[in-house]
Amino acid sequence: MQLALGCMPVLALALGGFAPAPKPIAPTKTAAESPPRTASKSAPKAVGKATPNKAAWTAANIAAFDRVLADRARHGLDRVEFLPAPADGTAPVDDAARTKAALDYAGALAQGRVDPASLHQVYTLPRPKVDLATGLSRALAKGDLVAWFDGLPPQDAEYKQLSDAYLAFSAKASTATPVQAIPSGVIRVGNRNARVATIVEQLAESGYLPSSTDPLAVAPVPTPFSPTATTPTTAAPMIYTQAMAEALKGLQTDYGIAADGVVGPETLKVLNLGAGDRARALAVGLERRRWLARTPPPTRIDVNTAAAQLRYYRDGTMIDQRKVIVGEPGRETPALSSPIYRLVANPTWTVPKSIQNGEMANVGEEYLTAHNMVVRDGWIVQQPGPSNALGMVKFDMANDQAIYLHDTSAPGLFDRSQRHLSHGCVRVEDALGFARILAEDEGVGEAWQTAQDSGETSFVPLPRRIPVRLLYHNVYVDDAGKVAFRTDPYGWNDPIAEQLGFAKASAKRAEAQAIDIGP
């Protein structure tokens, strides 16, 4: 992974290419078999020195721990073997091994099994700190082991909903009769095709068409393929209607495909995702949430870089959300916790030397004038104004990666489905409107308006810093209360999924091409 330290502007940024989702699980016998087991090796170390004494592992506590481990699928950890069963002829599990397994599993629930710092060069989101050893000792002594383990993972409603979805999709992946993937071939409105029924079923299962209260149930549709046949049956083909196309546009928008309602090759890649693919993404989503502090700041800005979406919370209530543009694959927006400490009206942009001496090495006065640029003390500086790469407002953040939120002179890019287009910084839709909301909420609305109207570069400090979390959640609960799936544009899910016991994915990452100037 190439990490862009800061919003290093270039003359061209990423084209909004589609990042293909993982290929569907092959319909082989492995789909119905028990999940593969992965030994637990990377659980965080327990904080504290207390260790349970031998007498603590009573028959009741042993039985309770067995029940706890048997329920680990609820957290997407059923493919990890924390306490291997003794092989024939070997000694039974002793208390030391059981204690180690209990601490490993407790660490996986409380802090995550995978250390995000081992995956990313930059990861500054605070992780939970829990004295696991002392907690285990007390739980064993009190005989409330189950309750103690139950209190370690996140307790919020989103985690519970993702957990329920994981169980449902895992069950479907392991018990459903394998079916043939939807064959290739373009379908447009008005076409009658045997594949339409399966497309409708997939759209309903993914939440793009109405379904019953069961998250996996769909409205009855004709079955286009028999469970055992390799060719379509003679069931009457359905007509692909405009209503179906409108539903498909929602899926296409979410997955970064041109939202034309046409069933083409890229759309079929998403439609052919199976329950196993979604279970894999959900397991990673649960793991990512276990990395996070259990009580986030009640007033904060959360940027979901996987979905290119911003949410603003005030005193625990979400009061605003909007689209954002984030780092392109290869120059990813890092996972940071960093506060906004001031607003910058009419900002300038100083071109980094790497760009000045590279792509801009041979530009002349005509180019500089056309882009409202001047040379100051050997640096190329773009002057304030609507054409500035930072737009009309910059949200200064306190971090050593030069990452910040800002406006843009190319607002049309927010209409794109795929918005991983920048060099690391976060461009905010209607950034001036968002700045006005923050300024008024912080009691500096008048000062901000004066700074903005001046036409000069002006700084408006905020009375208190507003925490910003740059998260990467390609599975989350949307505004309608449904589990939403997105692609994995940075390819960050794969190493996590593999450590959770899932097979290695073969998905490709998005390609980057030239678009515009800016950070």
How confident is residue 515, by pLDDT bands cut at 50, 70 and 90? low
Q: Which residues are bridge partners to 322 per DSSP?
A: 310
Topology of domain 296-499, per CATH? L,D-transpeptidase catalytic domain-like (2.40.440)
Q: CATH assignment of 182-271, given 3.40.1400.10, 3.40.1160.10, 3.40.50.300, 1.10.101.10?
A: 1.10.101.10
Q: What is the pLDDT of residue 506?
A: 54
| N residues, the chain | 519
* Closest C-alpha to 153, from 302, 287, 335: 287
pTM for this predicted structure = 0.82
Q: What is the pLDDT of residue 124?
A: 96
**21 pLDDT higher than 60:** no
CA angle 113, 115, 119 (to 5 degrees): 125
List Cβ neighbours of 506 (8 Å cut-off, separation of 6 or more): 22, 23
CA gap 515, 420 in Å, rounded: 11
Residues 434-446, mean pLDDT to the nearest whole number: 98
Contact at 8 Å (CB) between 349 and 9?
Answer: yes
DSSP 416-474: -S--EEESSSEEETTHHHHHHHHHHHTT-HHHHHHHHHH-S-EEEEEEEEEEEEEE--S
How confident is residue 169, by pLDDT bands cut at 50, 70 and 90? very high
CA gap 383, 437 in Å, rounded: 25
CA gap 493, 515 in Å, rounded: 27
pLDDT, one tens digit per residue, over 55-110 is 689 999 999 999 999 999 999 999 999 998 877 667 788 999 999 999 999 999 99
Q: What is the average pLDDT score of the chain?
A: 84
**212 pLDDT higher than 70:** no
* Residue reference for tokens 């479907």: 172
pLDDT, one tens digit per residue, over 263-321 is 998 889 888 888 899 999 999 999 999 999 999 999 999 999 999 999 999 999 999 99
Torsion, CA 381, CA 379, CA 121, CA 296, rounded to 10: -40
Contact at 8 Å (CB) between 329 and 420?
Answer: yes
Q: Where are the domains of the chain?
A: 29-156, 182-271, 296-499
* Residue reference for tokens 């189950």: 146
CA gap 13, 359 in Å, rounded: 13
Question: Could you tell me which residue, 98 or 216, shows the higher pLDDT?
Answer: 98
DSSP 245-264: HHHHHHHHHHTTS--S--B-
**47 pLDDT higher than 60:** no
Q: What is the pLDDT of residue 54?
A: 61
How confident is residue 51, by pLDDT bands cut at 50, 70 and 90? low
Cross-sheet strand order for the sheet of 349-350: 349-350, 379-382, 373-376
Q: What is the pLDDT of residue 219?
A: 36
**228 pLDDT higher than 50:** no
Q: What is the pLDDT of residue 145?
A: 97
Q: Are strands 405-406 and 426-428 parallel, antiparallel or unpaired?
A: parallel
Q: What is the pLDDT of residue 20?
A: 37
How confident is residue 388, by pLDDT bands cut at 50, 70 and 90? very high
Beta strands in 202-308 (DSSP E): 238-239, 300-304
pLDDT, one tens digit per residue, over 464-491 is 999 999 999 999 999 889 898 888 989 9
